[in-house]
Structure 1
């Protein structure tokens, strides 16, 4: 069964995030972008379509530098080559153009340019952010309604970075205060983050200073496997205002995730076997193959062996086996098991495809 990535059109932008596991999020709307325009004129439309395709390329690679590639530039200058439809709509007394592109062809263009592709399965990050409000600093809560918070959410959405703000209800307030965030007391904040189904959390602060906003941020893995929690990313800088500071924080997060999860084709034919235990129904097989087919590390999948409640797949990869492992490990339906030698029972095994030690996981049905 060969990999087949469907071109899914989602009608509501508010449905961008659909949780699929305790820490992985399935990103929707990777085939489209919404651009604010002043009119429906042809010149304005052509400019907006170029902007929309640029945004869509960035969402699917996670890296704004892809726009400097020669091939990507050619497509951005002529977005109609990938455009499937566009529509105007009104929101909050403003006019927007929604452009929808051929997602499968867009991914092929990124592959052709040998650029990284970031799939729709992405880690969810909890953002503990302290910002100045009036004369004091406050932790930005999920229910907060002010311009900077809305801008952070909008920018992260356009970048394809799923984020979550803490509720700051009684449970959170009993464990974390603004001093903990400003002091970057990671152990305290990690403990408070346990109630949230996220893979990572960020501790960030903003401060007003003269004509600029200074900020610092640290990214942590929530379920780390070492005794001492250490930041994966530490960064500090300044920006002209809070919105630009927020964008730079999101950009730092994106840079790390792209380095870890976005996959560029190596040009080689790399194969591995993936053995899944606990597969008890045809629905399980459908769910598994749908998930594997969406992974950017996977070029094709073929069933190699079926025995009892175990299915083994032969998987052709765009790059390294470790890329596949990282993508499987952010979905809690896949539990990694110690590698075993290939079975020698009487079940059918494709003689063309062999491997000394397949990746072995337990599949958790729903």
Structure 2
């Protein structure tokens, strides 16, 4: 009884900390967007060339955030040699691989010429809570679980360039969230438990052979589900810091958990991509003010930071007054995409007067430099 009471008090203390302390949201700068490692059958010219084409296709998926079927891209894959900067044969886990790097500028120009959106290097960290139900038994799949699904999720993360983390399910997680919280998809509990992982988005995926299977899964409409029926569904919070609204999926049916999970991850990534992708067809000039630039070093740091944002095409300092500096930005995509990039970085924070009327995108935004 004493043990249960202490467990209850400790869990409530953790929840209190999660509520009163500010959320810390991390973005991940994805590296190696313009390189890929692909399996190669041999070092012969024909196998190498086929692997080079596969590598370029993989880079298009990472940079564009999704599978791309476009005439210019199909032609580029045929003319892959124009984009290759270097390659080498390597071995990993006893597998022969070809490691290929591609020209970033040429790849980006291809997206611009095709009027297709790109996904910048700064991407949201996605927390995946995965629960398997087998009959009456349920278990949370941790990152170290003896299951093929964590490896599948990791491989998917690498191929799509989406930073994904799974729970450790150590003592901290066990005391922060329950299996019932996850299975019931209670947003506040999930958001609070995802904080330690620096998650921007959180997704709950449920795989079951019992309670969530719809009656249709046992009918002739799903012949593959007859012998070993499985169902999968998911819910997604794209902003665990400020919102607990969830998007709920329809049910996925089949007899193979890996295939169902891959389909779900593709759909989830597409939703996240739509929020953060940058249109290459829109170019907007946009002024901002940074209010606390007191040294030349800070000015250079702010300028470099803005130049490196994937949503920004160019930066120009246009005026100075006291410690305030006004910059004119040429944006790739919308102003909202620019604000999303800033939210992920946490380095340039917008000042909002709590007593003023709600801000519009048309107003001159004022920022302060430095982590909160």
Q: TM-score, normalised by structure 2?
A: 0.80
CA-to-aligned-CA distance 1:162-204 (integer Å, 9 cap, x gap): 0111221112112323333222222322232233311111111
Q: Deviations over 1:305-331 (max 9, x none)?
A: 233332221001223222211211222
Name the CA distance, whole Å, in 1 between partners of 2:318 and 2:325. 8
**Secondary structure of 1:195's match?**
helix
Moved more, 22-31 or 140-149: 140-149
Aligned to 1:249: 264
- Which residue of structure 2 aligns with residue 223 of structure 1? 241
Distance in structure 2 (CA, Å) of the matches to 1:224 and 1:206: 28
2:12 aligns to what?
A: none
| Residue 126 (structure 1) aligns with | 127
Please, which moves more after superposition, 181-190 or 152-161?
181-190
Q: Which residue of the partner structure matches residue 294 of structure 1? A: 308
2:278 pairs with 1:272:
no
SS at match of 2:181: helix
1:45 CA drift (Å): 1.3
Structure 1 segment 35-114 matched on structure 2, within 5 A: 35-64=38-67, 66=68, 68-114=69-115
1:282 offset after TM fit, Å?
A: 3.9
The equivalent position to 2:349 in structure 1, one of 335, 340, 349, is: 335
Q: What corresponds to 2:139 in structure 1?
A: 138
2:92 and 2:197 map into 1 onto residues whose CA distance is: 32
Q: Deviations over 1:30-74 (max 9, x none)?
A: 01111112211222111111111111011111121x2x1111111
Measure, in 1, the Cα distance between the counterparts of 2:128 and 2:299: 35
* Distance in 2 separating the partners of 1:54 and 1:288: 35
Report if the CA contact (8 A) 1:262-1:296 is conserved: no
| 2:366 corresponding residue in structure 1 | 360
Secondary structure, counterpart of 2:241 in structure 1: coil
Residue 312 in structure 1 maps to residue 313 in structure 2: no
Instruction: Select the structure that is richer in helix.
Output: 2
> Is 1:119–1:294's contact at 8 Å kept on the other side of the alignment?
no
Corresponding residue for residue 339 of structure 2: 325
Instruction: State the distance in 1 between where 2:32 and 2:295 align.
Output: 30
Moved more, 309-318 or 142-151: 142-151
Change (3 A) 1:356 1:70: closer
Shift of 1:363: 1.3
CA distance in structure 2 between the partners assigned to 1:290 and 1:160 by the alignment: 24
What is the DSSP-based 3-state SS (H/G/I as helix, E as strand, rest coil) of the residue aligned with 1:302? strand
> Taking structure 1 as reference, are residues 245 and 328 closer, same or farther at Cα in structure 2, changes over 3 Å only?
same
**Matched residues in 2 for 1:91 and 1:22: separation?**
33
Number of residue equivalences? 325
The answer to whether the aligner puts 1:260 opposite 2:275 as a matched pair is yes
In the other structure, the counterpart of 2:31 is 28
Contact 1:152 / 1:243 at 8 angstroms: preserved in 2?
no
Taking structure 1 as the reference length, the TM-score comes to 0.81
CA–CA distance in 1 between the matches of 2:300 and 2:261? 40
- 1:94/1:312 CA distance change after superposition, 3 Å: same
Which secondary structure does the structure 2 equivalent of 1:230 belong to? coil
Q: Which runs of 5+ in 2 are unaligned?
A: 1-23, 210-224, 354-360
Say which is worse superposed, 320-329 or 356-365, in terms of deviation.
356-365
After superposition, the CA RMSD in angstroms is 2.5
Q: Helix, strand or coil for the counterpart of 2:251?
A: strand
Which protein shows a greater Rg? 2
